[in-house]
Amino acid sequence: MSALNLKIAQHFLQEEPAGAARLLSLQTPDVAAELLKTLPNEVALNVLKVMQPRSAAEILITQTDVDIARWLGKMKLADIAAILRHLQDEELARFLNLISVRRQTLCKMLISYPDYTVGAWVETDVLILEETMTVEESLLRLKKRDYIGFALVYVVNQHRHVVGQLSLTHLLRKAPQQKIADLMDTHVVSLSGYTELHSALKSPVWAQQDQVAVANRSGDFIGVLPHYRVRSALGRMDETQDKPSESLDLLDAYTSSFVSMLDTLVPVKVKGK
């Protein structure tokens, strides 16, 4: 295939990841994986993230440990967990061994929740503060490593129960020695990890904010559920949905080149052999 057709197909993958993911799901896992390898890591990940988890799992198990580790290392834990649900025990152990012990533990927690509940889709890599901390201590924790950014930061007590929340911008403006307990809003809405996604979508909390704290049955904080994640999870659960591309003209323009690219990866069967 010409370099021009390759560029067109790759542009389609970049601009229409959802449409590309559906087309890739119709190919054999080997062919789909070879195509993804021709793309920049970020573009390939965007396609994998919107692909049905079962299809993504089928593609990834054909790859080397090095390639699997490279892709998993860039994915959010909720996306990894969605894929891990579709692996047999042997492959599950293989994938888990390719990520850090900390991420293994969190993935196992997410998998323990049914995929139709919010506990399976929470963001776990978030900044958490203790009520006994000062502003200075909080900012030091924030600087230690990268967290998924949310407007609200949750505060927990010694039992990891959520006791308050405050905005990150509010925190940054306060004096270093001020206590978090004196600054936080103690009126916090949280959901159980076993709340079903459809019920969560109807929660009145979304009228006030675009995130909510999630706790386990013991009341321990397990993560943050952003509003977009609820809609995304519901969409991915619907295996039979056939949502049209948001840009049908673009899809039509690129599909032929995309399929042409796939053809170059599929061995041609000679008639009679």
Could you read off the pLDDT of 74-108 as tens digits, one per residue? 898 989 999 999 999 999 999 999 999 999 999 99
Is 90 in the same domain as 170? Answer: no
Q: Is the pLDDT confidence value at 258 over 90?
A: no
Asked whether 145 and 99 are in contact (CB, 8 A), the reply is no
Task: Quote the tokens at residue 237.
Answer: 């659960």
Task: Quote the tokens at residue 264.
Answer: 């170059």
Q: Which one is predicted more confidently, 21 or 140?
A: 140
Is 101 in the same domain as 8? Answer: yes
Is 50 in the same domain as 86? Answer: yes
Note whether residue 105 is domain-resident: yes
Is 37 in the same domain as 80? Answer: yes
Is 68 in the same domain as 147? Answer: no
Note whether residue 175 is domain-resident: yes
Is 63 in the same domain as 143? Answer: no
Is 153 in the same domain as 190? Answer: yes
The pLDDT, as a whole number, for residue 18 is 83
Note whether residue 178 is domain-resident: yes
Is 74 in the same domain as 105? Answer: yes
Count of the separate structural domains present in the chain: 2
At residue 11's C-alpha, the angle toward residues 6 and 13, to 5°, is: 100
The pLDDT, as a whole number, for residue 253 is 47
Q: How large a percentage of the chain has pLDDT more than 70?
A: 84
Q: Is the pLDDT confidence value at 70 over 50?
A: yes
The pLDDT, as a whole number, for residue 239 is 53
pLDDT tier, 252 (very low <50, low <70, confident <90, very high otherwise): very low
> Range with the lowest mean pLDDT among 23-32, 82-91, 162-171?
23-32
Task: Quote the tokens at residue 174.
Answer: 């306060």
Note whether residue 219 is domain-resident: yes
The CATH number linked to 90 is 1.25.60.10
The CATH number linked to 189 is 3.10.580.10
Q: Which one is predicted more confidently, 32 or 91?
A: 91
| Domain boundary, last residue among 112, 136, 160 | 112
Note whether residue 251 is domain-resident: no
Is 14 in the same domain as 101? Answer: yes
Is 154 in the same domain as 202? Answer: yes
Note whether residue 245 is domain-resident: no
Note whether residue 267 is domain-resident: no
pLDDT tier, 32 (very low <50, low <70, confident <90, very high otherwise): confident
Is 150 in the same domain as 74? Answer: no
Note whether residue 250 is domain-resident: no
The pLDDT, as a whole number, for residue 42 is 84
Q: Is the pLDDT confidence value at 267 over 80?
A: no
Domain containing 206: what range?
Answer: 128-233
Is 87 in the same domain as 140? Answer: no
